[in-house]
Structure 1
């Protein structure tokens, strides 16, 4: 069998079939009603004991196969929400639109958005297990929780009385040959910086400064990969430019999810007309320095600045 035919055969596996189905259903954290209803309907259509609680968690129970009635019940667990990130300029509404899947070689991708394999793969595996009529197994209690990527509201709302199993296998991990026995938590911090806005001077030109092309990734799983964070890199760029020249800051934005390593960030600077050429040279120098620093981890990193329309206010961040 050719490699391409082998890949096509694998994509017909029930796991990939279900992954394709759930990828068509929006499931942003805090907006899991549609995917929760889909999972509950799956259970009811197959005559499984189905529990859907107020937190939209779904528990599906399948009796043991003949001969396995005395074996301990096993709980299979994953979460239904996903980190929703998209490339800047991508027209995709995570509360309405399906993901656009594509296959390249042996890899499955989503076009211009996150794929949601965290933790869509758990949903796909769980549904495939429940739908398999030939598999011999003990009693299964498959639970899918909500808001794992943000508040853990779903897991906190689970009632222990809903389960009889004492063995739990969590499918929210990346290692095929390892057992994980702990997990990381998270803390959200809000920071407000008071600023004083002033009118931009006529002799200043607004320039949009951007950091793009980074791989990004999950703040938990890829944090050790040495990849660039667009917000931090933009901060370094701004600091370097202020030291060299001093510009007005009119706009600043970066990242879209607190648990994702940001891939893009941008600012609008107000540059004195007479300093435009010097500014362009400085941006090119900073870009080259960062490109060399990240050429192995983020080879597509680019720092660029281009003129934009006027009409910006200004926060002073330095003086020329």
Structure 2
């Protein structure tokens, strides 16, 4: 952690280094939560938790600023656990290993957790850095944002005293966010029938890997490869003509991360193994050509393996491959209102197979409710055609932009004054918690800012060191400039 201790601003980087040292993937952030509560007690900062585990910290105003509007800085506690396939790492036990590389902080073989660990660290740093001037200040840290926004869903009315909320979960310095997409999970379950593998078949494992992956909202427009979709495409093209039998299919690990790897276990007639390998090589060359601008390391490996698993019967195999191949993925529609921003998308995030069923989990995002409804209807129809059971689950609202937001205008003015350039006012195609906060706190004025983070939700995640300093300057200047209560 010594590398981070040399970075500015402090104590932000020291706090972030400590966050990295405590495992905190979604649903397993309790150790980090307890550390923060204990840390607050040591610092003489009031801390309390609600029924879902959210943490609220409070600090009185700097002397002379007691009449300013109270502000809450908000971040989430959990991180997305993704690692390279050759990295040995247990996210429940092992610390993240951050390091400095040419102006960026990265992690060794895993996600870094800058999403939202840098925002979390900045909020805690604002509480303890004596140079930061502020009115009445709260810090809200929510549970399990990445896996379903559990903390935001459970946030109770009348707990926060703030009138202004500054969300720290944005990922581009120089952009101010005033709205975000809503989302909903969609689960398709297909019953399967199996039978013995015919005699004279060779078991093979087909692995598609080397894709970048990434954030299924903020990076969905980049045209990155989806391992689930690519592998289904290959199998649909070649399974019937080569009499390939499917034993198992798994791909992706999180519904909000673009899948980097998918694996199919197959049985291939012994006299068609070479033809199958040639088809795999040809398909690899095709997708390498198609995705050359965005994916540099695609691999499609054919390996021998031993198995006693039964094969899907031909009807189940046809319905499964057809279902996965026909399921839409990526950008559905761009926004007419916000130029360059995705309106509606979905990510075919996780595919798993058991003996008697296959499950496909998608995450749908849209800036408008009707966009979500349309994709739900589309996936329902595709599932019905395949004889599958479909279920939308865990929908959450978007954050409707407020062009008249006083705090948004103030952030824009402060940014212009600090850096002599105009920031971009944006709506993000990702799920921020602000939309859910509007239900218990409908009158709260909200804005979202953050440093530059690239590759979130993938092992390529990195945060730009210089942008963290600019973000910190903006955040502390904003806290100092919050106006008095009316």
Assess same fold via TM > 0.5: yes
2:126 to 119, 123, 129: 129
Which of 236, 257, 272 is the aligned partner of 2:254? 257
Distance of 2:308 and 2:150 partners within structure 1:
43
Shift of 1:261: 0.5
CA distance in 2, matches of 1:14, 1:234: 46
Distance 1:8 1:61, change over 3 A: closer
Q: Among residues 174, 179, 184, which one is paired with 1:182 in the alignment? A: 179
Which deviates further from its counterpart, 297-306 or 100-109?
Answer: 100-109
For 2:36, the equivalent position in structure 1 comes to 39
Contact 1:208 1:267 in 2 (8 A): yes
Does structure 1 conserve the Cα–Cα contact (< 8 Å) formed by 2:4 and 2:14? no
Per the TM alignment, residue 89 of structure 1 is displaced from its structure 2 partner at its CA by 5.3
| Partner residue, 2:153 | 156
Pair 1:30–1:305, CA change in 2 (3 A):
same
Conserved? CA contact 1:40–1:50, under 8 Å? yes
2:135: which partner in 1?
138
Contact 1:205 1:310 survives alignment (8 Å): no
Alignment RMSD: 1.9
1:204 is aligned to 201
In the alignment, is the contact (CA less than 8 A) between 1:294 and 1:301 conserved in 2? no
**Contact 1:32 1:81 (C-alpha < 8 Å) held by counterparts:** yes
Give the alignment of 1:220-299 within 5 angstroms: 220-242=217-239, 244-299=241-296
Determine if the alignment matches structure 1 residue 93 to structure 2 residue 97.
no
Q: Is the 8 A contact 2:5 2:13 kept in 1?
A: no
Q: CA deviation at 1:189?
A: 2.1
Number of aligned residue pairs: give it.
Answer: 313
Report the CA distance shift for 1:60/1:248 in structure 2 as closer, same or farther (over 3 A).
Answer: same
2:100 is aligned, of 86, 99, 103, to 103
Question: What does residue 81 of structure 2 align with?
Answer: 84
TM-score, reference length from structure 1? 0.92
Superposed CA offset, 1:132-175 (max 9, x none): 01222222111100111123221122233222221111001113
Counterpart position of 2:20: 23
| Structure 2 stretches lacking a partner, 5+ long | 319-486
What is the distance in 2 between the residues matched to 1:89 and 1:205? 27
Q: Retained in 2: the 8 A contact 1:11–1:17?
A: no
How far 1:288 moved relative to its partner?
0.2
Seen in structure 2, the aligned counterparts of structure 1 residues 303 and 11 have a Cα distance that, compared at 3 Å, is: farther
The structure where strand makes up a greater share of residues is 2
Aligned counterparts of 2:87 and 2:176: Cα–Cα separation in 1: 37
* Structure 1 residue 59 corresponds to structure 2 residue 60: no
Q: Any idea what the Cα deviations from partners look like across 1:257-290, whole Å, max 9, x if unmatched? A: 1111110101011111111111111100000000
Distance in 1 (CA, whole Å) between partners of 2:255 and 2:13 is 29
CA contact (8 A) 1:214 1:300 kept: yes
- Look up the match of 2:47: 50
Quote the Cα distance in structure 2 between the aligned partners of 1:147 and 1:210.
31
TM-score in terms of structure 2 length: 0.61
Provide the residue aligned with 2:409 in structure 1. none
Higher relative contact order (CA 8 A, sep 6+): 2
2-side partners of 1:294 and 1:176: how far apart? 28
